[in-house]
Structure 1
């Protein structure tokens, strides 16, 4: 009987792996000797399947020499780690190439992007590069780039294999660096083995991924229609609503003259930034039709900020501003233990269907309308807005307006804080809200509901593709 077996029988409640020093040193550039990288789950692979190292089937972090002959006025896509959405790029910013710097990562259409830095547990987060301007993208060094070159593998299949929870957990066990700035070394992915599965199966996965992407793009198009409807109703160019506001009645000099009664005694502010013309113009556009202040339409409820000493690895999900976007809530890696609080009190903080979650600290002014009752606790930086009368204003319409340029400008004017932006609740209560005709609200709400329905379908297709990969590997194991 081996030493491993002897120890496992003696200590059945522990996970044990006994390795030779030569085995520990192998492919271990950081020479980690702690237990995490050597968990049995990390060392196991199915002997019934043929594998190939990722470094043998893909170009990893390709050289920018491939595009060095491009003109510097070429328009390309720029990304950060936050742009990696649920399998696809969720936001794109385009601009000119200024110069080819070593501090940037270069990628092309259909490359796989994987985050390697740890903030908000983003390590291992994957996306396929799609919709790039001129097919070219640049980003920071926060993620690795993988370009599949082996005809035995389809990019969509490799992506689904890499984006599974089991791979992300293994990546977490292999992180290096100091606390708060840990990263998954590129070497971890270079030696990662990818199963060689039948092409017919890979094509099934590819179709699911493509259908997911199609549903996501249709979702974005419908959401854009909702935004266009709002801006057109208020007389703005939907392609650049902010510029429309800034150029209305534009003066040669950005001068605003106010009496003491009209300024400090009314607002408590004496800084010139508060009285910029664009803010006045924004207010006038909203007031040009039926309008009111936010406090007239919603009741505002605050959540709690328990402090990091109450954070747990399991329990009730604790959602922070970093988990909040206008498209929904990402999974939290922090939890609260109901034993530390009054359970009945915690339950009273769960957001119900049609509750609008609205951020007041950090990334201020992000609004999301909850589609169904949620058993989560949000941080104190996220307010809960409850519609008083849905016959006056619809939750989906109000959420869209809160995410619009009209409210972004009000936030920009009001917010304080030298390091972290903070929007006072009293100022939030007085946000100006344009109330469009109810039929227009219904039209906008329908676009948004259909958009979120398609977004949900997209996520389900992608999740099912990953589950199918997991099941296929499991089936071949038996």
Structure 2
């Protein structure tokens, strides 16, 4: 329901004339905070810089897949609201880090704040960290670690989030400029971080147990299928140099990675399975791609989720953190892109190989980077979901993808992949065991989130 209110002209300040800025919720919060503190984020900044995204058309020049020599390149999804940094990095070359992106280098104790997308989320670079950021975040040098921790903890509270959102400008893609960011009022309390730190430690224990259970899924699946994965050679120069007959290249790819010995060994390991190998296509009635609606169609009202690859994992859709939405009226015209019963969703662009069961409990549409796979009756949906999301199939899927930095799945080659197919009863038996492990893991992850949410409430109570 729309909120209608009036403001005196004398109350309209700071050059802002948009109604959102003057909502009662925001005005009252600001007044409450100003009664408690006169400090602003600018009072703690020694230096502030934003980054950039090197041209992906010249990916060979700026990016690398070598995690040892490469520098972590932080994106919005790496900045977590528990003040930590997730490790699912892409990497830039050391030369890019030291030259083109020299001003946005990140070191230990630095404060990183997102300024577009998920606004105002803050994290602290851990000990020994060296990285860089894109244009959707800023890196701030503060006096010391304790200062960065206290600031990050405050900014990640619901109070800090609302203060950031109020200062954002822009229609379909709200953003915080330097002036707006620096103006955020800060209730400074170094002790609040210790509440979050303790919660992070407890949550991490739960998350580690959950990870063990999820990691065991692949092992059990391969064991039941009678497959032993080949060992991968160490990444030495000798191991990366190999020859291939021209006859083997005829009608095939000419990039060296596609013809690595490890892939051939992996194909041979499939033959050790006692079950027949079938083309993936033989198990699929139909497949459909999602749609790209364009940034001009995004809605600020958070009506219908527009699900992108960054919103999905093998465990499901992260509806709580979806960043893009479309209007209900547009959804009515795009209902054909809503996933249906008996479909799997599979990521084909960017992070290739994520597989999950379609959620049919709510309205949403999927982006063009996600496939909908409609299955035939002779395959257990859960079994195939676990298999397509496994490490083994992920390796094969990435092999048949193209693109240096942003990968794109070759759908034809993907559907021609050979997979082991036990009888339906055995598929169901395997799937039930794996679902049990996954259920336990997801419960542990839920408990971890509850621990962190309680800590945030405790922090806000202190403030």
**TM-score scaled by structure 1?**
0.66
Matched, 1:91 2:65: no
Question: Secondary structure of the residue that 2:139 maps to in structure 1?
Answer: strand
Matches within 5 A, 1:73-84: 78-81=72-75, 82-84=77-79
Q: Answer with 333-342 or 375-384: which moved more.
A: 333-342
Greater Cα radius of gyration, structure 1 or 2: 1
Assess, with a 3 A threshold, how the Cα gap between structure 1 residues 313 and 206 changes in structure 2: closer, same or farther.
same
For 2:442, the equivalent position in structure 1 comes to: 452
Matches within 5 A, 1:467-478: 467-470=457-460
Q: Answer with 224-233 or 160-169: which moved more.
A: 224-233
Deviations 1:184-241 (A, max 9, x none): 3455444433225695x7755554343333323333333334345567864337xxx6
Per the TM alignment, residue 312 of structure 1 is displaced from its structure 2 partner at its CA by 2.6
Structure 2: stretches of 5+ with no match in the other structure: 50-67
> Match for 1:332 among 322, 335, 342?
322
Give the root-mean-square deviation of aligned CA atoms: 5.0
Per the TM alignment, residue 424 of structure 1 is displaced from its structure 2 partner at its CA by 4.5
Matched, 1:49 2:36: yes
Per the TM alignment, residue 423 of structure 1 is displaced from its structure 2 partner at its CA by 2.9
CA contact (8 A) 1:161 1:466 kept: no
C-alpha separation between the residues in 2 aligned to 1:230 and 1:146? 47
> Match for 2:364 among 376, 380, 386?
376
C-alpha separation between the residues in 2 aligned to 1:452 and 1:317? 22
Per the TM alignment, residue 321 of structure 1 is displaced from its structure 2 partner at its CA by 2.2
For 2:352, the equivalent position in structure 1 comes to: 364
For 2:106, the equivalent position in structure 1 comes to: 106
Per the TM alignment, residue 17 of structure 1 is displaced from its structure 2 partner at its CA by 5.8
Question: Secondary structure of the residue that 2:264 maps to in structure 1?
Answer: helix
C-alpha separation between the residues in 1 aligned to 2:71 and 2:207? 19
Question: Secondary structure of the residue that 1:463 maps to in structure 2?
Answer: helix
Matches within 5 A, 1:91-240: 91=87, 101=98, 102-108=102-108, 112-116=111-115, 118=116, 121-129=117-125, 135-140=128-133, 142-145=137-140, 149=144, 155=149, 158-164=151-157, 167-168=160-161, 170-171=163-164, 174=167, 184-186=176-178, 188-195=180-187, 204-227=195-218, 234-236=227-229
CA contact (8 A) 2:111 2:142 kept: yes
> Match for 2:300 among 310, 313, 321?
313
Question: Secondary structure of the residue that 2:186 maps to in structure 1?
Answer: strand
For 1:70, the equivalent position in structure 2 comes to: none
Deviations 1:42-70 (A, max 9, x none): 782315534644455677669xxxxxxxx
Question: Secondary structure of the residue that 1:384 maps to in structure 2?
Answer: strand
C-alpha separation between the residues in 1 aligned to 2:262 and 2:315? 28
CA contact (8 A) 1:254 1:277 kept: no
Structure 1: stretches of 5+ with no match in the other structure: 1-11, 25-32, 63-73, 474-478
Q: Answer with 327-336 or 375-384: which moved more.
A: 327-336
Per the TM alignment, residue 456 of structure 1 is displaced from its structure 2 partner at its CA by 2.5
Per the TM alignment, residue 162 of structure 1 is displaced from its structure 2 partner at its CA by 0.9
Assess, with a 3 A threshold, how the Cα gap between structure 1 residues 147 and 337 changes in structure 2: closer, same or farther.
same
For 1:280, the equivalent position in structure 2 comes to: 264
Question: Secondary structure of the residue that 2:353 maps to in structure 1?
Answer: coil
Per the TM alignment, residue 255 of structure 1 is displaced from its structure 2 partner at its CA by 0.3
CA contact (8 A) 2:353 2:398 kept: no
Per the TM alignment, residue 388 of structure 1 is displaced from its structure 2 partner at its CA by 5.0
C-alpha separation between the residues in 1 aligned to 2:87 and 2:315? 11
Question: Secondary structure of the residue that 1:358 maps to in structure 2?
Answer: strand
